[in-house]
Amino acid sequence: MAVADYSRGVPKFQPSQLHDFVTQCCEAMGSLPREAGLVADQLVEANLAGHDSHGVGMLPSYVDGVVNGRLRINSHPTVVVDNGALVTFDGNAGFGQVNGFEAMQAATDRASEYGVAVVGLRNSYHIGRIGHWAEQCAASGYASLHLVNVIGHEPLVAAYGGAEARFGTNPFCAAVPGRNGRPGFMLDMATSIIAGGKARVAANKGVRVPPNTIIDVDGNLTDDPNAFWYTDPSGKRGGALVAFGDHKGSGLAIMCELLGAALLGGETAHPKNARDGRIINSMLSVVLDPGALGDAESYLDEIEQFRDFVLNSPLRSDCDRVLVPGQPEDLAREQRAEGFEVDPVTINQLRNSGQRAGMSEADVDLLLS
């Protein structure tokens, strides 16, 4: 088995090594092999795509959820509304990796029958990187868009003009399929300037975040990630993330809250709903069959020609390349295929979580050394 490389100070791990660790950790908590594999698949894929905020560093929060009875293992989504092309699932606070996978399977099945599917998933434990679900749809030849909210803990993001958090990072994602089973384009973004997990990763590494992305307890803009994690003596978080694009990101986040959750019978972030440390997502997905809307072959030709046109643009003076949605993830996959770094703080958290989940110290050391 490949082992971590500490030669540069920050350990570098093989994807298979961390996949094995996540799988064994979930199985130690009682997950069946399929569930453990889906969780490991998505977390490691997030790291490979360059999104460490949604990678293996999320595992400790899952272990905490299982140990404290907030995350249900071996659970599956149940249908609460079925109107043909419109379906709503309740995730029953089960693993989001299972709920998301099964909801998108149903969505592509319905889209193949009706040409379109509108699928709601409410009350799911953390569903991870939303681009993973758009990629699942694209791999089956379908376009999709997804609006998501998050509740269960203190809000993370301030509304435009506000100094205190009022909602989550509320992702928006959209993708169109290409010829090779990958998205032709994929936009996957938090509605905050940076995701909460990116602030966590920066704090773990002891580095700053981009300027003016965090609001401290006094209402001042800062680049200190620790200002986001500040808690007062009562345990209430004092910092907040800033929505992207001022009123635009703030407005989109609010619509994710309403369309992605309230519309489905899911909960929003107001304080009458429980804040007990859960990470609960609701997601509205619209999945489209390109062949049902027009000619699938001409569609593929058109997006390829448009991609070439955009990428052949002259460069802005402060940039060294043109990027289109989905390209940063593809570049990260090329760079990380042989392994990626995980900061020592996160590794220590994974070690502790593995033993908390029921893994032996020897097994943890074998996989994380």
The 10s digit of each residue's pLDDT in 239-258 is 899 999 999 999 999 999 99
Residue pair 27/56 in contact (Cβ under 8 Å)? The answer is no
Domain extents in the chain: 12-69+343-363, 77-154+166-188+249-325, 193-242
CATH topology of domain 77-154+166-188+249-325: Ribosomal Protein S8; Chain: A, domain 1 (3.30.1370)
pLDDT in tens, 253-274: 999 999 999 999 999 999 888 8
DSSP 192: B
As a residue count, the chain comes to 369
CATH topology of domain 12-69+343-363: Hypothetical Oxidoreductase Yiak; Chain: A, domain 1 (1.10.1530)
SS3 call for 13: strand
Multiple choice CATH, 193-242, 3.40.50.1450, 3.90.700.10, 3.30.60.50, 3.40.50.20: 3.30.60.50
For the beta carbon of residue 295, count every other beta carbon within 10 angstroms: 11
- Structure token digits, residue 260: 């992605």
Our CA dihedral for 42, 48, 54, 56, rounded to 10 degrees, sits at: 80
pLDDT in tens, 195-230: 887 888 888 888 999 999 999 988 999 999 988 876
Above pLDDT 90, what percent of the chain?
Answer: 83
Mean pLDDT, residues 294-322 taken together: 94
Non-local (6+) Cβ contacts of 144 within 8 A are 107, 133, 134, 137, 138, 173, 174, 175, 285, 286, 287, 288
Q: Exposure string (b/e) for 38-61, b if CB count within 10 Å is 16 or more? A: bbbbbbbbbbbbbbbbbbbbbbbb
**pLDDT over threshold 60, residue 7:** no
pLDDT in tens, 323-337: 999 999 999 999 999
- Structure token digits, residue 57: 């560093």
pLDDT in tens, 93-138: 999 999 999 999 999 999 999 999 999 999 999 999 999 999 999 9
**pLDDT over threshold 70, residue 5:** no
